[in-house]
Amino acid sequence: MNEKTTKIEVKNISKIFGPHPKKALKMLKNGADKDAIHAETGMTVGVQNASFEIFSGEIFVIMGLSGSGKSTMVRMLNRLIEPTGGSIFVDGQDVAAMSSQELIALRRQKMGMVFQSFALMPHLTVWENAAFGLEISGVDKKERRERAIQALEQVGLDLYSDSYPHALSGGMQQRVGLARGLAINPDILLMDEAFSALDPLIRTEMQDELLKLQSRAQRTIVFISHDLDEAMRIGDRIAIMEGGRVVQVGTPEEILQNPADDYVRAFFRGVDPTNILTAGDIARDTAVTIIRHRSDGPRAVLQRLISKDRDYGYVLDSERRFIGIVSADSLRDCIEGDGGRDLTKALLPDAQAVQSSDSMQDILPEITSRSWPIPVLGDEGKYLGIISKNLFLRTLQRGHEEAAMPPAAEAPSEDKTI
Amino acid sequence: MKLLDFSEQLIPLDDWVENGVDWLVTNYRDLFQVVKVPVEKTLQGLDWFFGVLPPSVLILLLAFLAWRYAGKGVAIFTLLTFLLIGYLGLWEDTMITLAMVICSVLFCAIVGIPLGILSGRSNRFQTVLRPFLDAMQTTPPFVYLVPVVMLFSIGTVSGVLATIVFALPPIIRLTSLGIRQVHPELIEAAVAFGATPWQVLRKVQVPLALPSIMAGLNQTIMMALSMVVISALIGAGGLGGPVVQGLNTLEIGLATIGGLAIVLLAMVLDRITQGLGKQRKSG
């Protein structure tokens, strides 16, 4: 998001389940941990001193395993669960301190919610379900129906408006749930494992649907998930929770490349990095590059390749824009053929570069079909580095063991004007 | 051991109860007479209604209700039942019983549904209410028949009051059950969209508990019908009359047709109200 205005600010929020939460909160402040509190008082720490910000218009995913406190966290945002301590500011207003009237107004106007179990009213038709929030706020029936049908159109279900929920499939039911959240036209949409009960194909479809909706009208979406692939796919930023604590907040790339601790690392084990990492993330500037001048001779270039023990050289112009690739073989052919005057004759015919924003998935065909490392270009066609088959495979493997290393230029770049 | 000497009655609870009832009767009989006024008026209204309504209209009306809510079969059954009752010479008694049953069920619903809702929403209230419901359901009606007569005198109204006490528990229990069976996530969803507790009750809990409430109503009707004979013992009229008279004078035939009419009436009312409940469920 370009303009980063804070929509929701969570400050030192804690939730303790048990008969004397204040006592446990005090222990928590004095440094006791979750297990110690449970052992001593029998009370459970649901969320422990969580702080983070959610920006306007972003999809913020709160991710964690079951029992990590993520569902408790999202329910504290609209106070379905009362926080034991701390503050939650929505547009600068402290939700934790609101009176019940203010709270009801907040829920009716600003926050829609979508549930894992869909939670549709079985006695109401599809449109009446979509209009439920409006009915609660006392909108009259005509307007209610109009706005509900509009919301159903957004999720592609307007033709089913007079059906009952039990007649719909799971995916369709959750679309109704989504429409119910959208119908009140909220700034904030809370989605509690909204797609977890759906089968994988439908889940992906719903994620796409959500991204599509988000591209049309930017809402602040707080999405709870235990599925990392889902989080990576839809999240602008992710907060990872473990045992009631927020252990890391960041963009998917930041977290993947720089996991805060073993828990986060373990989470990413088994994640398919090809969807998340881009060519720019993994490219290394280790190749022999040749900045082309008029006087370049194939012989000199060949000499350099041999001395560096490389098979390929990457030819750039003076602005470091990519021109082509030469190989030791093509240089030799060129020298034998026309006496080795013109370097351009030695350029490999089907050498192609990929963009730094392409995902590993996108560049896979190029990597596998070429014998040379693939050049990666950044803005304005500027050469960034290369990805060899070896590097690609190593990154894949790391994805299963630990997050990929930061793409720091380990070896100094090798360009030299000849 | 004096403590385990059971040959003497140590706790004269029976005397206390007797004295207590006597005390209530001497001091508060007027109050109880006032309490029975709404029941009396409703019953009079119903009696009048079933009295002026020509039998043909009533039969068609009931058959129509049966057809509308329970299907063709029940409609035909209803038609035949009421014709048979007429031919057996029990029409007037049946009308009195019908008025009594409707009157007691009406008051059971007015009292029972709110109590059931409260008990469905509050564990504490349910805990307090439960022993009373247990007592109402297990105490033989003969036990409270005498105090009822002492406080409210004999007659059809007292019969209705005794019937209310007897028939009230199922509607309370089943309303409470229905409220409790509403999925918590539906209530959570309603609250998340800003529903007040009253809105949660009106828009989610009661509509979803309706099938269960209807089942409670059905059970209450059945219980009310089963009180018809017993309330005849304290002078209530209706179909209990022939049965009691038949038993007293050993006229087996009279008792039998009275009993038959009660059973048939119960079946008709049961099928119609069950159909009503199902209609709501699927609708």
* Predicted complex ipTM: 0.79
pTM given for the model: 0.74
Taking 80 as the threshold, does the pLDDT of residue A82 lie above it?
yes
End-to-end Cα separation, chain B, in angstroms: 68
Inspect the interface and report whether the beta carbons of A119 and B186 lie closer than 8 Å: yes
Confidence of residue A338 (pLDDT cuts 50, 70, 90): low
Whole-number pLDDT of residue B279: 65
Q: For residue B212, which residues of chain A lie inside 8 Å, CB to CB?
A: none
Inspect the interface and report whether the beta carbons of A108 and B194 lie closer than 8 Å: yes
What 3-state class would DSSP assign to A192? Answer: strand
Inspect the interface and report whether the beta carbons of B193 and A80 lie closer than 8 Å: no
Q: For residue A111, which residues of chain B lie inside 8 Å, CB to CB?
A: 192
Confidence of residue A294 (pLDDT cuts 50, 70, 90): low
Taking 70 as the threshold, does the pLDDT of residue B77 lie above it?
yes
Q: Return phi, psi of residue A20, to 5°.
A: -130, 70
Distance from CA of B202 to the nearest CA of A (A): 11
- Residue A192 in contact with residue A174, Cβ under 8 Å? no
C-alpha torsion B89→B91→B97→B99, nearest 10: -170
- Looking at B122-194, list the stretches that DSSP marks H as alpha helix, in order from N- to C-terminal side: 123-138, 141-152, 156-180, 184-192
Among A129-133, A332-336, A401-405, the range of highest mean pLDDT: A129-133
Inspect the interface and report whether the beta carbons of B188 and A105 lie closer than 8 Å: no
- The token duo for A74 is 């999202």
The pLDDT tens digits of the residues spanning B136-195 come to: 989 898 888 888 888 888 888 899 999 999 999 999 999 999 999 999 999 999 999 999
The pLDDT tens digits of the residues spanning A34-67 come to: 888 888 888 888 999 999 999 999 999 999 888 8
What residues contact residue A156 under an 8 Å CB cut-off, 6+ apart?
A175, A209
CB-based contact, B186 to chain A, within 8 Å: yes
CA B76 – CA A219 distance, rounded (Å): 60
Distance from CA of B189 to the nearest CA of A (A): 6
Given A117, A123, A132, which is nearest B193 (Cβ)? A132
Given B189, B199, B204, which is nearest A115 (Cβ)? B189
Q: For residue A113, which residues of chain B lie inside 8 Å, CB to CB?
A: 189, 192-193
Which percentage of chain B shows pLDDT scores above 70?
Answer: 98
Taking 50 as the threshold, does the pLDDT of residue A412 lie above it?
no
